[in-house]
Amino acid sequence: MTKKIGFIDYFLDEWHAEKYPEWIESASGGAMKVTCAYGKIDSPTGRSNAQWCADKGIQLRSSIEEVIEESDYLIVLSPDHPEFHEELSQLPLRSGKPTYVDKTFAPDRQTAIALFETAREHGTPLYSSSALRFAAEYMETERIGIETICSVGPGRYENYSIHQIEPIVSLMGSDVKRVMYIGTANSPALLIEFGNGRKATVNHFGWECPFTLTLNYESGQAKIVKPESNYFGSFISQMLQFFESGEPIVEPAETVAIITIIEYGLKAAETPYQWVELPS
């Protein structure tokens, strides 16, 4: 029997909602399918929720409760509006049904902790991640002995830093101590210090700049890693495994560390070249 997945979004006419249904159905061989969806508002610039659903062959529902009732698994989207994740996730995280919350998980550390706490209290399996975490090149990279990482990539810090910080934390761990803003208005950049003095830099350039990591190990060996594999395909496969097993793919501590870095990186931008300590 096909397992039903419900979408819960700020508005449905956005890139992730557009792509995920086909990818999910294909990756699962039809065993899982997005069947219903809810959008808080209609897209300000695109199709209405009703039109989007009609075009995708997905049933539009008028409430989050209806989506939860009709679904086996839940995906909270709103990828570019994480400030709505807390509101959109309240009922899903009380449902007990495996729930994936899209990137960026939360707008701040406090919200991230609260979401995980709600899920824990109600026995709801929960996780969130950037798809970049699951690039084969990153997953196959040796983690032991990494001393420094220099990361570059495109996009604005506010909604694209997740794609650099997520892989960094997956490689270096969640023991983050402090951050320092070292960028400019056009090229935001962040220095991150981990335990034992290990450091990483996040650098944002134009859209012509592909995601790349340069790693240096304690041994002095260097390695350049470019995510050229089908990381979205791997990401979807990991999501489906999570739905089936109910076992989160990413440790909550890592997700909280990632959100903390993003939040305090924005604060650090107000006082460039000064360390900002992170809460433990």
Task: At 227, give phi and psi (nearest 5°).
Answer: -80, 90
Number of alpha carbons in the 13 Å side-chain half-sphere of residue 154:
5
Instruction: Calculate the dihedral angle through the C-alpha atoms of 12, 13, 15, 17, rounding to the nearest 10 degrees.
Output: 30
Eight-state DSSP code of residue 279? P
- Considering the domain architecture, whether residues 137 and 65 belong to the same structural domain is answered as no
- Considering the domain architecture, whether residues 177 and 268 belong to the same structural domain is answered as yes
Residue 183's domain is classified under what CATH number? 3.30.360.10
The predicted model gives 6-16 an average pLDDT of 97
- Considering the domain architecture, whether residues 85 and 137 belong to the same structural domain is answered as no
CA distances from 262 to 45, 139, 223 (A): 27, 22, 25
Confidence of residue 280 (pLDDT cuts 50, 70, 90): confident
Domain boundary among 107, 128, 149: 128
- For the chain, give the percent of residues with pLDDT over 90: 99
Number of alpha carbons in the 13 Å side-chain half-sphere of residue 46:
17
The residues, any chain, with a CB within 8 Å of residue 192's CB and separated by 6 or more, are: 165, 168, 176, 178, 179, 199, 200, 201, 202, 261
Q: For the segment 24-38, what is each residue's pLDDT rounded down to a tens digit?
A: 999 999 999 999 999
Q: Tell me if 16 is assigned to some domain.
A: yes
CB atoms within 10 A of CB 62: 9
- In this predicted structure, the answer to whether residue 201 has a pLDDT above a threshold of 90 is yes
How much is the pLDDT for 231?
95
- Considering the domain architecture, whether residues 268 and 142 belong to the same structural domain is answered as yes
Q: How far apart are CA 249 and CA 247, in angstroms?
A: 6
DSSP string, 16-60: HHHHHHHHHHHHTTTSEEEEEEEESS--SSS--HHHHHHHHT-EE
- In this predicted structure, the answer to whether residue 129 has a pLDDT above a threshold of 90 is yes
**101 near 10, Cβ under 8 Å?**
no
Q: Tell me if 139 is assigned to some domain.
A: yes
Lowest mean pLDDT among 24-28, 53-57, 91-95, 156-160: 156-160
How much is the pLDDT for 164?
98
How much is the pLDDT for 239?
97
Number of domains into which the chain is organized = 2
CA-based nearest residue to 170, from 231, 79, 106: 231
Token pair 């026995």: residue: 123
In which domain, by residue range, is 123 found?
3-128
Q: For the segment 221-235, what is each residue's pLDDT rounded down to a tens digit?
A: 999 999 999 999 999
- Considering the domain architecture, whether residues 273 and 147 belong to the same structural domain is answered as yes
The pTM score is: 0.95
Residue 27's domain is classified under what CATH number? 3.40.50.720
Q: Tell me if 63 is assigned to some domain.
A: yes
**76 near 102, Cβ under 8 Å?**
yes
Q: Tell me if 185 is assigned to some domain.
A: yes
- In this predicted structure, the answer to whether residue 43 has a pLDDT above a threshold of 90 is yes
